[in-house]
Structure 1
Amino acid sequence: MHPFTYTGLPARVVFGQGTISQLPDEVAALGISRALVLTTPGQAKQGHQVSDLLAGVSAGVFSEAAMHTPSDVTDAAMAAFADRNADGIVSIGGGSTIGLGKAIALRNDAPQVVVPTSYAGSEMTPILGQTENGKKTTQRTLRVLPETVIYDVDFTLTLPAQMTFTSGMNAIAHAVEALYAEQTNPVLSMMAEDGIAKMVDALNRVQAAPQDIGVRSDALYGAWLCAVCLGSGGIALHHKLCHVLGGSFGLPHAETHTIVLPHALAYNAPVIPQAMDALKRATGTATPAGALYDIARNGGVPTALRDIGMPQDGIDRAIAFTLENPYFNPRALERNALTELLTNAWHGTRPEG
């Protein structure tokens, strides 16, 4: 017998096609009378469409969400929330927008409805990462967990090819670490393996049929499973490295996860035999780290940190930040081995594990 603790997080999920039509009812169910709609600048048009759907319940659109949730953007959003007499949040977008909604909720307990348009998964987690003065910090609190999530496959049909692959890899990373994080348990392991398998299969098919409802449904379902793993499980070296790289060097979130994941997995592979067995089944290969690298390469997305703006002379600084406040990891963090990991990731070398 292997004792374990599993915590199921409270969240209402509406999954399907055309489910955005249920948004007004879901907003009303939370008692929201004035909903501030959040987006990034690039998704402002979608934000206004959602605002129109809400009609008189909308408090307008705030479309300045940014990567890594900068504190100054949150300050501006809080001012808009107050000026427009909002009492709730509708976030439509990926991790940047959802992160901003969480940051607002942390400060004022506003109820949140989230409409994800990518596979990032932040919508199912009580985790918030914020950046201030060039340093990203994370915290875990139920105050930021969205109350309702509306998954509408239609919003993913036009997801650009590059974003599909990087966002999908980001989702896979959540489930990979759930297999060997400190809070791992049989329930999460089952969801993680299925989530990875669904997403890997979808990513292998999506280039040939980017608007296929079945493919996109599998990807979105897999992303949801992976997100639950992140929310109810834990994280380890991979996420620590990505938090450091993103916050310290301004690297794009999903691309950083895509590049680092195969290398972080290869680092831990020697000490996680059960997790590796699950990953072999989920990827259908004997070398899961290499298989994940190949998905990114075949998808035409960056596989080297140097290609997304990471300076080579920043490797030592990244390792220092990682060791300064490390997360749990199944393998001890060794400076020389971490240097090799990040050097390989900087060059884009394919891992063998």
Structure 2
Amino acid sequence: MSVEPGWYVDPAEPETRRWWDGEGWIGAPIPVDVTPPDGPPPAEPEPTAPTPTSGATPHTGAADSPGHAPTSGAPGQPGHGPGQPGRPGQPHQPGQWPGQPHQPEQWSGPPGPGAAWPGQPGQAGQPGQQGPPPGWPYPQWPGRPPVPRPHGLPLASYGARLVARLIDFGVVFLLNVLVNGWFVWRYFEAIEPYLRETMRRALNGDTSTEGLPQIDDQAGGLQVVILLIATALWFAYEVPSMAARGQTFGKRLARVRALPVETDQPLGFGRAFRRWSTLGLPTLLWYCCGLGLLFQFVDAVSPLFDQPLRQALHDKRAQTVVVQLPRARPDAPTTPRDRADPPGESP
């Protein structure tokens, strides 16, 4: 999944942020606790040639004597001195003084394990190609890659998310008892004679199906009404609260919150609906031999197998991530989150 351009925490230097242009890091890093500017960093100005001081002979770029190399890195002449046009901001190589004639770079082979090619994301201030030359394998993180911290917050554990979801299911179940209870009672009245006779024959070892009571014709319609009401109650409970705060009642108790991947902002109605519909709409398919329940189970366990952001299928559709909120300190005043603070997730 490509990451949109923006200011992100540099995985190589977690204390700094840098601008990610969609393919690599550009610009100079800034401290992570400083609010970045809007948009990409300004282009670095090309350094100008040093101005001669009074009483000094200005350098003309020509050699003072035959065989004497220029020392100021004039345009079109070799040299690695600071401020040489055409090589903005590049420091001279170790063991090479400013003004020393340029020595052709020697190919020393591919970088070793854990090293990165020039221009690879995470290498500050190194222009070049994005990735290794053709034919070379792309280098990987040395050892285990760092755990992402979207917007500076740790990812919520699966246990915390499961507890929050079970609490929400309990609330939705109570709402169904109050609103949907009469329809459920009528449905069981319609199928009760059939169930009772089936259970009696099963206990007596009778496997015949002849003479079984017919199920009331209203049972099918009642089942559809029950599922529609249950889905509507779930929608009314979850979507508005997730759109406004990224939290339901269960998530507040578990101290977890859903945030957009790219910014620390409320989800909004559209994103909250897309997130809920992936998990909630399959409720309407429960009457199809439990097919909807199977879809919901796969969605519920999907964070266990997703790396690195532990996103469920409904998170991937809405491009959200669930984070763990810190415990509020009673002795420290709480401050609202800076809504203008750009994302802090490492791509």
> TM-score, normalising length from structure 1?
0.18
State which structure, 1 or 2, has the greater radius of gyration over its C-alpha atoms: 2
